[in-house]
Structure 1
C-alpha cells in the first residue's frame, strides 16, 4: 500500500498518523519514516485498511484494540547515555596519566 493510500485509510478511520501510532503503541516517527519509501509494510497497511472499513461501517475499532493486551515495541538502536549507538561495550578502567 502506498503511503498516501495508508493516510487516506487512516483518514476514513478519523485518525492521524500520531493517533494511529498511539493506538498500536509505536513511535509516530517509526510510522512517518515509511513516507520516504512511498509504501508502508503489509502489517500496517492491513491494520489501517481494517480500521478504515470498520469506521465506515460504524464499528468501533478502538473498543476492539482496547481488549487486546500488548506491550509497546522496544525502540531499535536506542542509545545508552554515554555510549555511542547503544553499544554493549563494557567500561574499561584505564589508569590515568597525570
Structure 2
C-alpha cells in the first residue's frame, strides 16, 4: 500500500520525500523477555552440561 501511494505521488509530481521527512519516528520498546541484540530473548533456560 505504501509503495503504491509513493508511486502515485511521484506520478502526480508530488515530492513524497518532503512529506516523509516530516514524520517523527520513535523506536519501539522491547516487550516480553526480549533482550537488546537478541531476537525474542532467551525462551529456553541455558543448561550447564559440564562439557
- TM-score band by shorter chain is 0.5 to 0.7
Higher RCO (C-alpha under 8 Å, 6+ residues apart) = 1
Separation of aligned partners in 2, 1:49 and 1:59: 13
Q: For residue 55 of structure 1, give the secondary structure of its aligned residue in structure 2.
A: helix
Segments of 5+ residues of structure 1 without an aligned counterpart are: 1-45, 91-98
User: Is the counterpart of residue 49 in structure 1 residue 4 in structure 2?
Assistant: yes
TM-score relative to the length of structure 1: 0.31
Gap change, CA 1:62 and 1:73, over 3 Å in 2:
farther
Q: Which residue is 2:21 aligned to?
A: 66
TM-score relative to the length of structure 2: 0.53
Task: Note the aligned Cα RMSD (angstroms).
Answer: 3.3
User: Is the counterpart of residue 86 in structure 1 residue 41 in structure 2?
Assistant: yes
Which one has the bigger helix percentage?
1
